[in-house]
Amino acid sequence: MSFLIDRRQGSKQKSLVNRQRFMNRYRKQIRKAVAENLRARSITNTDTGEKISIPARDLREPFFHHGRGGRVTRVFPGNEKFVRGDQFPRPEAGSGNGAGPGSSDSGEGMDEFVFQISQQEFLDALFEDMELPNLTKRQLSGVEEFKRVKAGFAREGTPTNISIIRSMRSATARRIALGASKRRELRELEEKLMALPDREDTLRERRELEERIEQLREQLARIPFLDDFDIQYHRHSKEPVPHSKAVMFCLMDVSGSMDQATKDLAKRFFILLYLFLSRNYERTDVVFIRHHTSAKEVDEEEFFYSRETGGTVVSSALELMNKIIAARYPVNEWNIYGAQASDGDNWPEDAERCVTSINKLLPLTQYYAYIEITDQGDKPLWETYLAIQKNHPDIFAMQHIKGPEDIYPVFHELFRKQES
């Protein structure tokens, strides 16, 4: 008696395959729940998962059943009222004898299915069908990476690269080729031996046939099952990998007209953008620019948490973006993107400078998005940008945000995958 002992380490995610199958099946409902739960998340709460719920009616499985009508003869084993699959309504409110905490007059209902998703699954559902628009492959200067690709087969190589299927196919073909004539002759001799009558005058002929048959069997047995000639190896070659080299400029208005609630909405949008870039793109720089009457490039900490404020001169941020591009990001090497968030207020005298600066930027950028955070209609900056957007609809986008519930739909609209 033999025993097999499985000493593999138990996986912490034993039901991972089933979980992925569930996530794929109910992807639409999960994405909707994630988008709704995003409204209640804090701007600093980006490193955790989420508890989401799916209406139970969406989890019903299809099943086959008999159609209505016709004559049906059934045998009910001890049950004259119900059969398998029958559905009956819940009792009316107040008709039961239970001792629950309360009652409802809403009639029938159905509980929701609630489950916890990880941060990884939350972000997967959030950014599933998004991408940076107009992204172009550009080789990084001074940095080369290669990937190994299959390039046929070879007779020499390392054991780890052996092609089992190709080697066995070659061995089978060799055995067939070397033994075909012998097997054919062996079959003919065996048939002749079977047909030969068992008499004394045929004894010598039978002995000769048996000796020849034995020789053929020995010759066939000496054909090796696998020969060194049969073994083939996967051959690989190196190909250079082009990389998408991108930079995103985040421009945020921190002037006095931007109250704390408006700044909070802008920060939520930029945190979502930062998560999207850091998760989906390995080689993407992010440049943070804050502005009031003057613009300044800052780090991530100061961008999100500084309390500096002042007047409003939007052109200062656009001009600083132009200077940084000229100094650090050559257009022939970088995909340049911009995202600007503001409440739309600006000095009237600054409108012409904004138009001049944005017209210099657009030929350099792959895509530029302007988000106006207001619930009071179009502001001066929106009116300034509107004519520019009509002239450059493919690379200049504009959207309104009124409250937290608008952030994800606007973000999704700005960065959704474009149909080819």
Which tokens in the block code for residue 393?
Answer: 């609809």
For 72-103, give the DSSP string.
-----SS-SS--TT---PPPPTT-S----S--
Measure the CA–CA gap between 380 and 346, rounded to whole angstroms: 6
Domain boundaries, the chain: 20-58+113-119, 159-235, 246-415
Measure the CA–CA gap between 181 and 184, rounded to whole angstroms: 5
Which pLDDT belongs to residue 12?
Answer: 53
Which pLDDT belongs to residue 5?
Answer: 56
The residue type found at 280 is: N
Measure the CA–CA gap between 372 and 122, rounded to whole angstroms: 27
pLDDT digits (tens, 9 = 90+) for 228-275: 888 999 988 887 665 667 899 999 999 888 888 888 889 888 888 888
* Whole-Å CA distances, 146 to 135, 137, 154, 239, 363: 21, 15, 21, 5, 32
- Answer yes or no: is pLDDT of 202 > 80: yes
- The SS3 of residue 336 is strand
> Which positions ≥6 away from 27 have C-beta within 8 Å?
125, 128
Which pLDDT belongs to residue 327?
Answer: 94
Averaged pLDDT for residues 205-212: 88
Per-chain mean pLDDT for the chain: 79
Which pLDDT belongs to residue 103?
Answer: 46
pLDDT digits (tens, 9 = 90+) for 22-73: 767 767 777 777 666 665 554 445 555 556 666 665 556 666 777 777 777 7
Alpha helices per DSSP H over 114-155:
119-126
Averaged pLDDT for residues 319-335: 91
Taking the whole predicted model, whether its pTM rises above 0.75 is answered as no
Which pLDDT belongs to residue 417?
Answer: 77
Which pLDDT belongs to residue 214?
Answer: 92
Measure the CA–CA gap between 329 and 316, rounded to whole angstroms: 19
Which pLDDT belongs to residue 142?
Answer: 45
Domain 246-415 belongs in CATH node 3.40.718.10: no
Residue 234 — φ and ψ, nearest 5°? Answer: -70, 135
For 147-198, give the DSSP string.
EEEEEEEES---GGGB-HHHHHHHHHHHHHHHHHHHHHHHHHHHHHHHHS--
| Helix, strand, coil fractions of the chain, as percent rounded to 5 | 40, 15, 40
pLDDT digits (tens, 9 = 90+) for 78-136: 666 666 777 777 666 555 554 444 444 544 445 566 656 666 666 666 677 778 887 76
Which pLDDT belongs to residue 95?
Answer: 54
Which pLDDT belongs to residue 193?
Answer: 87
Do 186 and 216 contact (CB within 8 A), yes or no?
Answer: yes
**3-state per-residue secondary structure call for 237-299:** EEEECCCCCEEEEEEEECCCCCCHHHHHHHHHHHHHHHHHHHHHCCCEEEEEEEECCCEEEEC
Which tokens in the block code for residue 133?
Answer: 């628009």
Residue 353 — φ and ψ, nearest 5°? Answer: -65, -35
Averaged pLDDT for residues 184-204: 86
Measure the CA–CA gap between 195 and 175, rounded to whole angstroms: 29
Q: Which residue, 419, 143, 150, is CA-closest to 282? A: 143
Q: Supply the DSSP symbol for 130.
A: B
Measure the CA–CA gap between 186 and 192, rounded to whole angstroms: 10
pLDDT digits (tens, 9 = 90+) for 273-318: 888 887 777 778 899 999 988 999 999 888 888 887 778 889 999 9
Q: Which residue, 282, 158, 131, 309, is CA-closest to 231? A: 158
